[in-house]
Structure 1
């Protein structure tokens, strides 16, 4: 047993009984390294990481390897989901060294925390050899390692440097078209997603593509979007009987997933599929959103209404075994329809994977499969619903993957927003109630109620670790989403409070972008990272800076604050060249740039039927349009002088200029 036994992180607790003398990251570890003259060995991962488990089993649990680690290093374990600020720094160093990265992330650092070498997964023999090499280098060539550490920290810092385009050109429609065209070069038109493998869902990318189609009507964008959203649920990435998406597919066909299920993926994909239903009206997309929501509500929701972080990939010592089936198992559960459904799911055929077991698949053309079986599509759907319940009941008797039951603020905010988007599409009050319950808990327990500061992680009845930029940005976005379905103005004022806090406490020296982590003096009980970074790229989660740009643009219009609008436009303009050159990594920014290029419209709805009219508009996917609704006088500046007693009015406003009002939604031209 080591010091990690006193931590609350499920990932750290997984290592609490290692013979390695692990420290959590903090002053005690740094002080011990300084006092003993040993380098730091910093190992970073997360609870659902398969290869983290492998390295723990192969190396960290072995006494003979632990003895080498303990003798020559001060060993530190970090949960990257608790401390993404630390992960960004050490991942940046490894990427500079090797031009790649991943988890587990293993870095060697000077006693003050500055990294000088690192890598990802190592086999036991590689690991022992590396430990000896690093120990000898630290003892005999420390000066060279200090120079290396200085270069790496300088390089990590330079990743945050952003130079504004020299030509000063404004964001334009032509720039958006160029970004989309370059993005489309990487489309996989047959299998969906982006070319190559592994394949990540990348909801930020497809949200931009949907937005682009809605604005331009480009037929290729809709075709690629439909192919991607269909193919993602035809392979093993989507859990056919339990709902929810795995983290990514290891192959180009979306067949074999990395089986961990992350809240942040399922939240964003819920919103994506719900918005696709609003965009196309095709029920298939809402069905997928519904199944994903039910997975989250049934499997990732705490009694308090918070949303847990993840399910592991492994169970019973094997990756994915919880989700695999044989024909014999299916026939035992479904004796009357087993063969038919085994064919549908590709068991023993297209779904066959390892050890004679299969991943549940789905035909890309359900109508054709139904006709082959002499069934109507509706009969097939009813059969699948019945069979799915029986299969799920049987699967629940298996040993499940472990649950990471910490609640991360940013991911909870993503789920709140997703539930609000799904409510727009469906009107399902239960989903909105779940969003409001989580939001209420966050307001009570994650914030101290003073100055707008929040904590990042909730576990064991306690909120801890100062929130990062993503936490604040996603939370403000969630509050805006709640306003847009409830029209309770308190949510907008709470979003504005967050924006004020972020501007005051996270702004960089240029006044354009925002640091990822809070100022060291605000780190409270946690030790700050050895460097602060400014993250701008969109990945599996959107860039906090991109989300803040959209928030400032939105709040600037609701509150008629030109400074917010100007700062948002400035942020996007400074990244114009990157948005055009690397659209897949800046898709969130491309979406904000589109709102700038085409202009953002505010529909101000007043009168006794204001909320009913707003709900009608919410059923459609209308990117670039803000809805503000009030049935009586409002504190929001956007409503100023727009009420006429007992009269329903809808104003279309571009910036601060509004056209003459119309009396109903049908009179609007959108």
Structure 2
């Protein structure tokens, strides 16, 4: 993403003026105790006077002429836990925040639109972003400066300097924040619906060139410091491969999929994928497990199994769906948000790590001999608290080394995994039980794909229950709930909720011939266009108090696929299925407006490249894609 550094330079000069002055103490108290969000509730005992984001907090900031300190994170986030322990439970830092700012805590999973706008602001002004995301916002709602995790000493210094500068020059800082938001302003839109012939194919070729240039030829994936799964890009590349049969692309896809499945990104015992690894070799993850990652990866591996004729990927896809159903499913048929990176002893990854003596106690001598070789336990542990299981060699190599038949090694591995998993289940791992609409929409698409497999009845039944939950509990016929905690609705639904749930319901409707699912998908699509798209572009939310990011021609991919790209694809498919020219025209106009961004940065707009391909196929013919 492009960066604009002038505002930061200006502010950095301003903050160089050290000193400290007094301010009136707000008559506020911490509002987060017993909140329905586990992430917000865990901050309920902080000495910081946390408020929830909303008009009340902004009004308080205007009344007292104070900056809002808005801190966004999520339950499973390791560094969010670290900053809480180091800073937000530090009484001196809490006193600074309470005296000079209006502190606001945000669960990014309940307020994705606000979080996405702030991520965009920080990324474009700093060049990078992540969580915990900490932004200072003027009482008028303009973001001024953003930071990520800071050690307590550095955070204290920032708060002291910014408080002093605000007292000395609040008018200048308000003007600076407003100018910066204007500089990063909204998109210019067109009503044109005609696309240049072959644009989708041309951008697909550019996407492949860009991805292979950025890709790691030794370990697969993208990134030289850490590695995320990058599912939106891999899905687009996989679709492009079905058209081009490019052998270089096939080799890269196979390498990436195999490395992600066999190394440290994936839980080798219980199945499921962690969010990302901190190294470029896929070895050491941050240990949070998110529903959205696993839903996206399950579908990716199932798709790849057929398109690359690689049945081992179907096994990974099944295991990932099984993890979702066994570890995240609720009695109502929905799926929970995440499993924490930190165990009940406050050790990151502690739930998944092993000491060698634990292996020896749990396994037979034959199983232990196999495990030492297969998981590399003869080497020192990668982390202070033990070994993280990573496949060190092949089953065939272990069999040769131990002079055993391959089938015998496979049996030993299966029995060892069962015993270790039983032992691990005695440990405790915090879980975020809230049900997020968007992520359950992704899960429905993945389960629908699993239902098409041989012996896929388990996934078919789960998909049917989830489709009913989405259509009857989260959707009330007029609006969609962002999330639920038990019987309580949480947050306001954003574009991604409408887009992903509509896509999941359409996938299920086309497999099952479910008229209710198809009807709800159509209602969600029509509501999404009305709420989130206008002549100024895409809005992430239909209600926003933040004075930033009023409209965009297209939304980029991140860990999740672009919500605008998914809605366009779903709309084109629905229009083809129902012969709805109005929907088709609306989607084609949006495709046309996204074309420039997709052309400039196809890697970051890979879902929109797929939308262009869908438009190329369906836009003119109007034939059904199914």
Q: Provide TM-score, normalisation by structure 2.
A: 0.90
Distance in 1 (CA, whole Å) between partners of 2:410 and 2:620 is 41
| Closer, same or farther: CA 321–135 of 1 in aligned 2, 3 Å | same
Match of 1:169 in 2: 196
**Greater relative CO, 1 or 2 (CA 8 Å, sep 6+):** 2
Q: Does 1:457 align with 2:483?
A: yes
Q: Does 1:581 align with 2:600?
A: yes
Between Structure 1 and Structure 2, how many residues are aligned?
Answer: 594
Unaligned runs of 5+ in 1: 521-526, 605-624, 628-670
Q: Does 1:138 align with 2:150?
A: no
Q: Does 1:355 align with 2:384?
A: yes
Distance in 1 (CA, whole Å) between partners of 2:240 and 2:299 is 16
Match of 1:545 in 2: 564
1:326-337 to structure 2, matched below 5 A, reads 326-336=355-365, 337=367
- SS in structure 1 of the partner of residue 202 of structure 2: helix
Deviation, 1:38, is 2.3
| Closer, same or farther: CA 363–543 of 1 in aligned 2, 3 Å | same
Match of 1:276 in 2: 304
Distance in 2 (CA, whole Å) between partners of 1:356 and 1:6 is 32
Distance in 2 (CA, whole Å) between partners of 1:426 and 1:201 is 27
Distance in 1 (CA, whole Å) between partners of 2:590 and 2:455 is 35
Mean CA deviation greater in 15-24 or 90-99:
90-99
Match of 1:489 in 2: 515
Cα RMSD, aligned residues only? 2.5
Deviation, 1:603, is 12
Distance in 1 (CA, whole Å) between partners of 2:234 and 2:409 is 29
| Closer, same or farther: CA 167–197 of 1 in aligned 2, 3 Å | farther
Match of 2:613 in 1: 594
Match of 1:653 in 2: none
- SS in structure 1 of the partner of residue 317 of structure 2: helix
Distance in 1 (CA, whole Å) between partners of 2:155 and 2:31 is 23
Deviation, 1:195, is 4.1
| Closer, same or farther: CA 92–217 of 1 in aligned 2, 3 Å | closer
Match of 1:507 in 2: 533
| Closer, same or farther: CA 147–356 of 1 in aligned 2, 3 Å | closer
Match of 1:105 in 2: 133
Match of 1:225 in 2: 253
Does structure 1 conserve the Cα–Cα contact (< 8 Å) formed by 2:584 and 2:619? Answer: no
- SS in structure 1 of the partner of residue 584 of structure 2: helix
Does structure 1 conserve the Cα–Cα contact (< 8 Å) formed by 2:58 and 2:140? Answer: yes
Q: How far does the alpha carbon of each residue in 1:465-521 deviate from its partner, in whole angstroms, 9 at most, with x for none?
A: 2211100010110011102221223322221111111222222215xx53211146x
Q: How far does the alpha carbon of each residue in 1:503-556 deviate from its partner, in whole angstroms, 9 at most, with x for none?
A: 22222215xx53211146xxxxxx677654435101110111100110111011
- SS in structure 1 of the partner of residue 453 of structure 2: helix
1:333-344 to structure 2, matched below 5 A, reads 333-336=362-365, 337-344=367-374
Does structure 1 conserve the Cα–Cα contact (< 8 Å) formed by 2:100 and 2:163? Answer: yes
- SS in structure 1 of the partner of residue 484 of structure 2: strand
Does structure 1 conserve the Cα–Cα contact (< 8 Å) formed by 2:503 and 2:570? Answer: yes
| Closer, same or farther: CA 220–165 of 1 in aligned 2, 3 Å | farther
Match of 1:516 in 2: 540
Distance in 1 (CA, whole Å) between partners of 2:541 and 2:283 is 37
Distance in 2 (CA, whole Å) between partners of 1:599 and 1:378 is 49
Match of 1:118 in 2: 146
Deviation, 1:599, is 5.5
Deviation, 1:64, is 1.9
Distance in 2 (CA, whole Å) between partners of 1:145 and 1:59 is 25
- SS in structure 2 of the partner of residue 494 of structure 1: helix
Q: How far does the alpha carbon of each residue in 1:370-392 deviate from its partner, in whole angstroms, 9 at most, with x for none?
A: 33333444433332222111101
Q: How far does the alpha carbon of each residue in 1:302-353 deviate from its partner, in whole angstroms, 9 at most, with x for none?
A: 121111111111122221121111322112111221121121012243x831
Distance in 1 (CA, whole Å) between partners of 2:92 and 2:538 is 45
Match of 1:644 in 2: none
| Closer, same or farther: CA 563–427 of 1 in aligned 2, 3 Å | farther
Deviation, 1:131, is 1.1
| Closer, same or farther: CA 34–579 of 1 in aligned 2, 3 Å | closer
Q: Does 1:322 align with 2:351?
A: yes
Distance in 2 (CA, whole Å) between partners of 1:261 and 1:366 is 27
Q: Does 1:561 align with 2:597?
A: no
Unaligned runs of 5+ in 2: 1-28
Q: How far does the alpha carbon of each residue in 1:47-104 deviate from its partner, in whole angstroms, 9 at most, with x for none?
A: 1111111111011101122112111111111111110111122223322331221111
Q: Does 1:74 align with 2:93?
A: no
Distance in 2 (CA, whole Å) between partners of 1:195 and 1:248 is 11
Deviation, 1:427, is 4.4
Distance in 1 (CA, whole Å) between partners of 2:391 and 2:620 is 41
Q: Does 1:368 align with 2:392?
A: no
